[in-house]
Structure 1
Amino acid sequence: MRTLATALLLPVLLSLAAHLVPVPVFAADAAQLAASQADSAAAPYQKNRAIPADTGSHIASEAPNDANTPIVVSDDTGHEVRLQQPARRVIALYGAFNELLLALGAGDVLAARTVADAAVPGLEHLPAIGTHMRPNAELVVRQSPDLVIQLAGRNEVLLQTENLRALGLDVLVFEMNSFEQMFAVLQKLGRLTGRESEASALVTAWRERLAALETRYADMEPVSVFYEVRYPNLLGAGRGGIVNDMIRRAGGRNVIADEKKLVRFNEEALLASDPDVYIMQRGPMNPEPQPLEQRQHYKSLRAIREGRVLVVDEERFARPGPRAVDAAEELGRFLHSRAAP
């Protein structure tokens, strides 16, 4: 009977092996991947697995009152995740989530990073699992995450999210287009990782700083602002993202009235709006922007004539993370630098 079973199963196994296709791996992370493969062979995927007591890993400072009560969190698409204990292995597919988790003191739960986050302090040692838009599903699964977190956005992101869920992973998708949305996400991350008190403390402190910022400039005339996201093919920050919230809280007024996050803004409209201040970000979306003084058709702008141009770090000003509060305060000082002390 054993010989007969073997004869029947052998063609099936050979057929399955012939259809296995290797997934491409990032060359820069080849060494990490090799180590990851060795680890995954010893520890197959298991959601919400416990960390051995002798690893020295940080144990969540706050757990649910009843150990038998699951942690239930819904994301911004209505999808619900239920964990039996605080997440011990998390993969965030957008850098701001990593920064928020680090601010919570939850860096020890981060299991991997995207290629773009290699330079973030505290993440450089983690294995890379692809990009924000195109995570490598095989590499993600290999890290045995309890939870994957993704930023809402393009349809491609939603497709990747569904692919990961189809593999049995818990994936939550959040929007962070304002400070209040960022605070709501932070509180959910605190609950998911057993750090609710830390999250509440951070939210309280950041809200107080932003309230003080708004109060400081409440009686001043708003300063008109244009925020350049990309040049050439001019792209500006509309009113649907955290940049607009930052401008508003810092006592400014976005000259773009469109409710979208990113807006194609023709140069005729820019010249007509003639902002008091021109902000130009430098970063992944605008790596080498041409200096404004070299743009002949911009010379008539009031901001150029009066020297009110601010070049900012994209990851500080456009990323909804802990540094965004610092950026808002910095922006307020620049916008109102001419105001009497």
Structure 2
Amino acid sequence: MAPAAWAGPVILDDLGQRVELATPARRVVPLYSGLGEIVSAMGLGDRLVARTNVDNWPAEALARPAIGTHMRPNMELMLGLKPDLVLQLAGRDAALQSVEAVRNHGIPVAVFVIDDFASLFAAMERIGILLGAKDAARQETARIQARLAAVDKAVEGVQRPAVFFEVRYPNLLAAGKDSMVSEIIRRAGGENVVAQGKKLVRLSEEVLVGLNPEVYLVQQGPMNPAPPHPSGRSHFRTLAAVRSGRVLMVDEALYSRPGPRSVQAVEELASFLHPDRFPKPSSNKDSK
């Protein structure tokens, strides 16, 4: 007799692991903030039972217990919450070590690789399956795709400026071509000036001066907590971006954490790079 088909939700994650649940997940622990934001964007935030130390969106996330960091969660705290699903973003070895530790306790874990909108949508679809919410996942994906399409139309045919994205300073760290940041820059009508095919690229200031970007983005957040403005850095004053004033301080949570709010970063950056394509509403009041 052939074995009975699995009745509950089943997916293959981005490590090729088969994730099987007896029933749709009800107690979810996201070990990466963007994955928790996906669940919240689907209208299922009440199924999240924990957060990492940096999670702060939506506001109700702050009411959940913090269980440590993306790479080093507190296993005792997590197990005490009795999750039936853990979500993790692939990346450094430490993050995958936490995955193995969770699996060793018999808890299903789904790991995702997200470095562009296509992989974001694929992750959303599978998270929707695991939560028994395929329609909610499709609807949120469609909303994001519509917003991206509007930006695509607005920036069609533009001259794309060379953009540098600062991840950390000092010990300069930049966003490389294989990052969600690079995808955001491209969709916003720019071109990442850093050509290396990595997510993060270490650069000397001399190399940066040679690249001479037309636009300079500085992220602010846990990875770059108090960056001085580039105009105040002696070696940066010769950069075309600094000389022209095309410097933008941005929120790390929007740009460097792949999730449903990545489209907001695209919209914000597109309006900065191409303000003529995104006219601001008139502030004039109607005369009476």
Q: Does 2:148 correspond to 1:210?
A: yes
1:223 match: 161
Alignment map for 1:190-339 (pairs within 5 Å): 190-337=128-275
| Amino acid across the alignment from 2:38 | L
Cα pair 2:40 2:58 within 8 Å, conserved: no
Q: C-alpha offsets along residues 292-323 of structure 1, whole Å, 9 cap, x if unaligned?
A: 12111111111111111000011012111222
**Cα distance, 1:120 vs structure 2:** 4.5
Compute the displacement of 1:215 (Å): 2.6
Q: CA deviation at 1:81?
A: 1.2
1:94 aligns with 2:52: no
Distance 1:137 1:340, change over 3 A: closer
- Alignment match, 1:140: 78
Unaligned runs of 5+ in 2: 1-5, 280-288
The residue type equivalent to 1:217 in the other structure is V
- Cα gap change, 1:85/1:273 in structure 2, threshold over 3 Å: closer, same or farther? same
**DSSP 3-state at the match of 2:186:** helix
What is the identity, as a one-letter code, of the residue corresponding to 2:86? V
The list of structure 1 runs, each at least 4 consecutive aligned residues, that deviate by more than 3 angstroms after superposition, is: 338-341
Report the 3-state secondary structure (helix = DSSP H, G, I; strand = E; otherwise coil) of the residue aligned with 1:315.
helix
1-structure distance, mates of 2:217, 2:57: 24
Match of 1:170 in 2: 108
Question: Equivalent residue for 2:47?
Answer: 109
Q: Secondary structure at the match of 2:60?
A: coil
TM-score norm. by structure 2 comes to: 0.91
Measure, in 2, the Cα distance between the counterparts of 1:265 and 1:293: 18
Question: How far apart, CA to CA, are the structure 2 residues paired with 1:202 and 1:287?
Answer: 31
Greater C-alpha Rg: 1
Deviation for aligned residue 1:340: 9.6
For structure 1, the residue ranges without an aligned partner over 5 or more in a row are 1-67
Q: How far has the Cα of 1:118 moved from its partner?
A: 5.3
SS at match of 2:34: helix
Tell me how far apart the structure 2 counterparts of residues 181 and 220 of structure 1 sit (CA, whole Å).
26
Give the AA of the match of 1:335: L
Which residue identity lines up with residue 276 of structure 1 in the other structure? Answer: E
Matched residues, number: 275
Query: SS state of the match for residue 285, structure 1?
Result: coil
Which residue of structure 1 lines up, in the alignment, with residue 18 of structure 2?
A: 80
Query: Cα–Cα, structure 1 residues 72 and 282, in superposed 2: closer, same or farther, change >3 Å?
Result: same
Q: Which position in structure 1 is the counterpart of 2:285?
A: none
Closer, same or farther: CA 339–81 of 1 in aligned 2, 3 Å? closer
In structure 2, the CA distance between the partners of 1:230 and 1:163, relative to structure 1 (3 Å rule), is same
| 1:28 corresponds to | none
Residue 295 of structure 1 aligns with an amino acid whose one-letter code is: R
How far off its partner does 1:338 sit? 5.4
Match of 2:284 in 1: none
Match of residue 17 from structure 1: none
SS of 1:207's equivalent? helix
Counterpart AA for 2:91: G
Does the C-alpha gap of structure 1 residues 299 and 105 become closer, same or farther in structure 2, counting only changes over 3 Å?
A: same
Letter of the 2:264 counterpart: D
Q: CA RMSD in A?
A: 1.7
Among 88, 96, 105, the residue aligned to 1:150: 88
